Structure 1
Amino acid sequence: MTAQQHPATHTPLPALLRRASGLDRNPLCRPVDRARSRLALALPLVLAALLAMSAAVSVLVFRTETRAERETARHRHAVVATTVGPASSDDFRPGSTRAHAPARWTYPAGPGGGAIEVTAGTPAGTAVPVHLDDAGLPADGPRDSTAVLADAGAFGVGTAICLSSLAVLGHTARRRALDRRAERDWEPAWARVEPLWTQRR
């Protein structure tokens, strides 16, 4: 049975370190074996670095979006509007709850009115809390910290998955290339080492 036919075994970490550093004195340890050891040691380090980077990105996104929502909050004003007409659905699919209704409200600059988003079936005369922008027009209100945290977390997880997948794919491609190189170089290497290994003259 040749060396290529032996089943793969798990190499202990100390052996990987010696081999990767070139301290392994085994005459059968080839440059390609050292390269494979370095590759095996590099993957967990790279993955750990990518996870740390993804966490840092998530924190950065959270801080950036929190500042943006605070700025948005400075230009949003919560008022209570009163619908003055029936709600008309925006989506005619069964079960849709999205609708708009005409409404009136009192804004610091004076009374105002327009279409606001309501639940389908909302009758006229219903009080509905809304946010207005500085011009007194309906606008989206600022998101709370929970929504911002969820977005930042999802972004960080997505970043970690994408980068880790690329790292694993790169590791796999490199490992296969080294395996092909090892198989190609085995016979010439064994021809040089076998006389020394068997003490044959």
Structure 2
Amino acid sequence: MSVAAATHGRRAPHTSLRGHARRAVGRDRNPLCRPVDRAYSRLVAASALMALVTVLLAAVAAVLVHRAETDDARDLARHRHAVTAVTTGPAQSDDPRAGSVREQAPARWTYPVGPEAGYVPVPEGTVTGTAVPVVLDDAGQPSGPPRSGDLIVTDAALVGLGAVLVLGSCTEGWFVLRRRRLDRRADRSWEAAWERVEPHWSGRWEGPGAQR
């Protein structure tokens, strides 16, 4: 038998996560279990724990982002006021060179403070005299509405997903590096054991009385 064939089984056979957990805490009484096998089980158990912690941290981050943006949107809503404006000219596009291509139109509206005329965003093709909804700030200036609930949920989901990807990648990288070190350690221990066992193994077939 070649050394390569003998070392084919240098890794421990497939073990369930529960089996790794038992081995990691020293409750596996298998006499063939080597220290390197226990170290590998501790690595698997630690990686599983880190994966759980990653999911929990990502969920916490998503909840915190959702809560913060919801509070901001609620606070901003108190300073936004919906009025109806009437366009005084046709819709026109913004300058594409400015990085924005939207339809705007001159319009007039009524509000206790601030200007009562300006340019407001409108649907494409809006004609003069069209009534359009406009959101104003406390100073009476056209402004954007608070973030919608769908956008807030999307932001929170993206933050959670980003946390999973970043922390998960770190965990996976750490696991791969540690596993490679354990594989090299297993190779060395198996080769040392084979050097001790191989002469006796060979002697059983080539000893006195053995048929040649």
SS in 2 for 1:119: coil
Q: Would the aligned equivalents of 1:91 and 1:99 in 2 still touch at CA under 8 Å? A: no
How far does residue 24 in structure 1 lie from its aligned partner after superposition? 4.4
Q: In the alignment, what sits opposite 1:137? A: 141
Q: Deviations over 1:35-76 (max 9, x none)?
A: 111011222221111111111111111111111011111111
Q: Would the aligned equivalents of 1:54 and 1:160 in 2 still touch at CA under 8 Å? A: yes
How many angstroms apart in 2 are the aligned matches of 1:14 and 1:150? Answer: 36
How many angstroms apart in 1 are the aligned matches of 2:17 and 2:128? Answer: 73
How far does residue 12 in structure 1 lie from its aligned partner after superposition? 3.9
How many angstroms apart in 1 are the aligned matches of 2:195 and 2:18? Answer: 28
Greater percentage in strand: 1
What residue ranges of structure 1 are gaps of 5+ in the alignment?
none
Q: In the alignment, what sits opposite 1:71? A: 75
Q: Would the aligned equivalents of 2:10 and 2:190 in 1 still touch at CA under 8 Å? A: no
Matched, 1:6 2:25: no
Q: TM-score, normalised by structure 2?
A: 0.78
Give identity over the alignment, percent: 51
Q: TM-score, normalised by structure 1?
A: 0.82
Cα root mean square deviation, aligned? 2.9
Gap change, CA 1:4 and 1:166, over 3 Å in 2: same
Q: In the alignment, what sits opposite 2:91? A: 87
How many residues align structurally?
195
How far does residue 184 in structure 1 lie from its aligned partner after superposition? 2.5
Q: Deviations over 1:70-101 (max 9, x none)?
A: 111111111111111121112669xx972111
Which protein shows a greater Rg? 2
Matched, 1:123 2:127: yes
Instruction: For 2:51, give the aligned amino acid.
Output: L
Instruction: For 1:157, give the aligned amino acid.
Output: L
Structure 1 outlier segments of 4+, above 6 Å: none
Q: Would the aligned equivalents of 2:105 and 2:121 in 1 still touch at CA under 8 Å? A: yes
Q: Would the aligned equivalents of 2:86 and 2:132 in 1 still touch at CA under 8 Å? A: yes
How far does residue 34 in structure 1 lie from its aligned partner after superposition? 1.5
Q: In the alignment, what sits opposite 1:54? A: 58
Instruction: For 1:58, give the aligned amino acid.
Output: A
Gap change, CA 1:108 and 1:79, over 3 Å in 2: same
Matched, 1:30 2:34: yes
Q: Deviations over 1:124-182 (max 9, x none)?
A: 11111111111111111112323212221222122122211221222122111211222
How many angstroms apart in 2 are the aligned matches of 1:110 and 1:39? Answer: 65
Q: In the alignment, what sits opposite 2:187? A: 183
SS in 1 for 2:116: strand
Q: Deviations over 1:98-137 (max 9, x none)?
A: 2111111111226611111112221111111111111111
SS in 1 for 2:139: coil
What residue ranges of structure 2 are gaps of 5+ in the alignment?
204-212
